Chains A and B, each alone.
Chain A
Amino acid sequence: MSTVDSVITPLISAEQRKQARSVGFTLVVLGIVAAFVLGNRPGDAGFKLIDSYIFVIPAQPFARILALVLIALGAAQLLKGFGKWTNVILSIAAATFVISFLAWAASGGSFSLTGMLQDTVTRSVPIILGAIAGILCERSGIINIAIEGQLLGSAFAGAVAGSLLGPWVGIIAAIAMGVGLSAILAVFSIRYRVDQVIVGFAINFFALGLTSFLAARVLTDHPDYNILSPLRPIALPLLSDIPVIGVVLFTQTLFVYFAYLAVGIATWSLYHTKWGLRTRAIGEYPKAAGTLGVDVIKLRYRNVLIAGAVAGVGGAWWPIGMVGRFDQNITNGRGFIALAAVIFGRWKPLGALSAALVFGLAEAIQLKMSNLDTGIPSEFLLMAPYLVTLVVVAGFVGRSRGPKAAGQPYDAQ
């Protein structure tokens, strides 16, 4: 017979054990890659931070030392485990690995690290805004996998309206398109209680099909409907004078500043307002809110539409903030990456921001690599951001718990 006083031995579940083991293997594999791939190029790599300063890393010794450290850490993880420090160690290891990778690619030459970081922030914009849209929906209990379609539709609307009537009208048109596509999601999932994943899927294909069709039929015949000059970066006074950071964060287009603002407002609103409390409540346990007189249906509609507007700005980034035109499938899966950022960021705006920056970095590195002569096939480089998504979602996230009621239609009765 066991007693109340018997000694408690900490036990871990099979799942946790498996996860800890896979982290250990990941570290070892990274170490082996560092030893045999990253360590095979002699020469120093120069990272240009500001015009007058170049930071130099000797690529080969750096990679070899890193390899030893990674393999040692991996072995320690496999044998003993770092417990709650696992993720911290894995993050630091991954960051160091990336630096070593860049040193390998740039060995014998140099490139502008500041420029790459600036690119990272720029390219994160649609992912950040898409993720905020996703968070607003999922926190209210509506799964939004239609972010991709919303971004794509808005990009199209922004391009056409922007070309004809100027960038500001373009942004408004993009917002209208985002809200319109969100309305479809809202009506079908809230009112008609259709499976939210299926509605989202349908919206994605609808947006892809419609914009591709119109681009092929209309825009090729009328090139003047699809050309505009994107917004120029604005250097914020004082802030942009800070070395490195000023260029990376504060010499950007309005889209980037809007993304900062969106993250800030979303964080504050979700955690410090009445709206936020109710929104989180209807995403976790709508009946609790409903029985206290909160109109769950109305709040869900409202939040899904606001999310559409945010995604609309994200979609406008392509034609108005970046390339000055629309191309078929220009979003190319960024909406799905945004969805990954929602999950990786654990349904928190700041978390999604960090995740989006990781994906933005992957994209910026891919751009940089295609300019440097690394011998990596360009097709493989294009795959990199998606590969990072896969690794991050499968490996780092593990079990993360989203809003409990996400995906469940609410029935007032």
Chain B
Amino acid sequence: MHLELRGITKRFPGVIANDNVNLTLKTGEVLCLIGENGAGKSTLMNVLYGMYKAEEGQILLDGSPVVFTSPADAIAAGIGMVHQHFMLVPVFTVAENVVLGVEPTGRLGSLNIDKAREMVREVSDRYNLNLDPDAIIEDLPVGVQQRVEIVKVLLRDAKVVVFDEPTAVLTPKEIIEFFEIVKTLIAAGRGVVFITHKLKEALSVADRIAVLRRGQVVGEVDPKNTTESKIAEMMVGRPVQLVVDKKPHAPGEVVLDVKDLSVVDADGRTMVDSVSFSVRAGEVVGIAGVQGNGQTELVDALTGLRHSARGKVALDGLDITDASPRERHAQGIAHVPEDRQRQGLVGGLSVAENLVLTRYHDDEFSNGIVMDWPAAHRVAESLISEYDIRTPSADIEASTLSGGNQQKVIVARELSRPLRLSIAAQPTRGVDVGSIEYIHSRIIKERDTGTAVLIVSTELDEVMALSDRLLVMYRGKIVADVDPRVTSAMDVGLYMAGSRPISASNGIAS
């Protein structure tokens, strides 16, 4: 099937998400759509899938124009989509999720679940996806959940399959398996649109790469004749430094010492299981792992947001296991939380207010119970210029800034004071390439001044590049403690998936 998007324009109040976009996709081809967050990739695909209605432009299938008013229309026309956030009902079985909307029925509309199982098994066997139709979605690893999504699409006989950021939640091993599946789809004569912001992946699977910036296609490139930095430059609009530039580290005394720490969630599941490690001054320790393996709970316990069930946390030899978040803050712990919208910022407060949010009660900003706003403003203005926060003024609501600038507000607030320990979770999630470069350089600078730094990230490339020492978390335990300079990403990926590399000489410590 030949798919063509012609002159697609989609506006949201105040922004043009897609501006006269033209794209084509031929049968048996992988088209990679690359661009920064907010460049309009997902919007474009939602227009194609009938979720959004474009103000202008046409969709043509095999040369004839089609109009999709709902996903049902797009599905009927042979377009399938695997969304970035999986569209799976967590409490349903695989079979129930797959047949939702096209349920095989018996008498009186009764559900023929045996038939549904058979349908899943059939597609799963044909494409070698290895799925159990009766497994409950929430019990499955994300990689398997993604295969369920793929079966959903294949069962509806999609000729064009759109993958929206498919690798964001996968381990390196799962990513390789995923690329194999993409090859099978192509071999079966289907077209694939692959949306990503990861340069390496685009170069390795795409037949053609279209680069989106601010809603426009700024160019199409052939992956054979281009480089990562050229694509990055097209995405950002200026040359970008992709490699983290850092000097060898000089670790000092132990700052953070975690002993036998366990954290239990509200449902009684052990999320962090007897974890022990330490971080030294002037050292970046990275924690890699697939999302949901206890990293969130570990960070919550270290920053005082969650009680630990067992174990001890010490800062500079001082027991802080039961200290409140403010006490920890006062002792020099900075925290860049993983979810900036919910934990890092108050979207409805101004940039200036957010910048003094952890220090408003200090004498510097208050006289008794009265805030000293002029003082807060002075500090805010200087942070805005120092950390290069792009905002029209210090008084606008923080929620109106771009993701990258919101993150810079948090980084500025957290790092702009004398620190002993800096904890950053997913410091560059949803942040544009330009800001990533900046945030990484700040983190390294912090290390060089003698702060202990703990980085938690699901982006393997990021932790590998930043860390001086890399720990891997799997199912609540630390399963590896490696030197990222001498360990391959593939080996770390194996630890993340719960297995061990065959050549595990410097892997598991005991």
Contact = CB atoms under 8 A, between A and B. Distances in A.
Interface of A: 1-4, 6, 8, 10-16, 272-278, 280-281, 284-285, 287-295, 399, 404, 412-413
B478 A1 contact: yes
B266 A294 contact: no
A291 B111 contact: no
A287 B100 CA distance: 12
B309 interface: yes
B248 interface: no
B81 A284 contact: no
A31 to B, nearest CB: 28
Given A284-B89, A294-B100, A15 B509 contact: no
Interface in B166-210: none
B127 interface: no
Nearest to B101: A292
Given A2-B478, A275-B109, A293 B307 contact: no
Given A11-B264, A13-B309, A399-B266, A292 B111 contact: no
Contacts of B267: 13, 399
B109 A284 contact: no
B87 interface: yes
Nearest to A275: B109
Q: Top 4 nearest A-B pairs by Cβ distance?
A: A293-B72, A292-B101, A288-B87, A274-B103
Interface in B455-510: 477-479, 481, 508-510
B454 to A, nearest CB: 16
B377 to A, nearest CB: 36
A280 B508 CA distance: 45
B103 A413 contact: no
Interface string B268-305: 10100111110000000000000000000000000000
Contacts of A291: 49, 51, 71, 81, 83, 87
Contacts of A281: 89, 92, 100
A6 B272 CA distance: 13
A285 B90 contact: yes
Given A273-B110, A291-B87, A412 B268 contact: no
Given A273-B110, A289-B100, A289-B101, A2 B71 contact: no
Given A1-B481, A2-B276, 19 more contacts: A1-B478, A1-B509, A2-B478, A3-B477, A4-B508, A13-B267, A13-B268, A272-B111, A275-B109, A277-B92, A280-B91, A284-B91, A284-B92, A285-B87, A288-B89, A294-B100, A295-B72, A412-B51, A412-B70
Contacts of B260: 2
Given A13-B267, A277-B100, A292-B152, A6 B274 contact: yes
A274 B109 CA distance: 6
A157 B407 CA distance: 59
Given A1-B510, A2-B478, A15 B270 contact: no
B83 A277 contact: no
B4 interface: no
A3 B509 CA distance: 7
Contacts of B508: 3-4
A14 B97 contact: no
B75 A292 contact: yes
B108 interface: yes
A280 B91 CA distance: 10
B510 A3 contact: yes
Given A293-B75, A412-B51, A284 B90 contact: yes
5 contacts: A10-B270, A272-B110, A274-B105, A293-B72, A293-B101
Interface in B102-117: 102-103, 105, 108-111
Contacts of B52: 413
B147 interface: no
B91 A8 contact: no
Contacts of B110: 272-274
B88 interface: yes
Nearest to A294: B101
Contacts of B451: none
Given A281-B89, A293-B70, A293-B71, A4 B477 contact: yes
A124 to B, nearest CB: 28
Contacts of A6: 273-274, 477
B262 interface: yes
B310 interface: yes
B96 interface: yes
Nearest to A4: B479
B500 to A, nearest CB: 9
Contacts of A289: 89, 100-101
A274 B115 CA distance: 13
Contacts of A275: 109
B233 interface: no
B265 interface: yes
A404 to B, nearest CB: 8
A278 B99 CA distance: 10
A265 B321 CA distance: 54
A8 B260 CA distance: 12
Contacts of A293: 70-72, 75-76, 101
A402 to B, nearest CB: 11
A15 B89 contact: no
B56 to A, nearest CB: 17
B442 to A, nearest CB: 30
A1 B101 contact: no
Contacts of B268: 11-13, 16
B71 A273 contact: no
Contacts of B102: 292
Given A1-B478, A292-B71, A412-B51, A15 B266 contact: yes
Interface string B74-94: 011000010100011111100
Nearest to A276: B111
A287 B70 CA distance: 12
B324 to A, nearest CB: 16
A32 to B, nearest CB: 30
B510 A8 contact: no
B82 to A, nearest CB: 10
A285 B88 contact: yes
Contacts of A272: 110-111
B299 to A, nearest CB: 17
A274 B101 CA distance: 8
Given A11-B310, A292-B87, A2 B274 contact: yes
B164 to A, nearest CB: 11
Contact of A2 (B109, B273, B307): B273
A399 to B, nearest CB: 7
B111 A274 contact: yes
B134 to A, nearest CB: 15
Nearest to B74: A293
B309 A413 contact: no
A85 B273 CA distance: 26
Contacts of A15: 266
B133 to A, nearest CB: 14
B507 to A, nearest CB: 11
Contacts of A404: 90
Contacts of A284: 89-92
A1 B100 CA distance: 46
A2 B275 contact: yes
Nearest to A292: B101
A280 B137 CA distance: 15
A289 B83 CA distance: 13
Contacts of A3: 477, 508-510
A13 B272 CA distance: 12
Interface string B3-25: 00000000000000000000000
A285 B86 CA distance: 10
B100 A11 contact: no
A290 B76 CA distance: 14
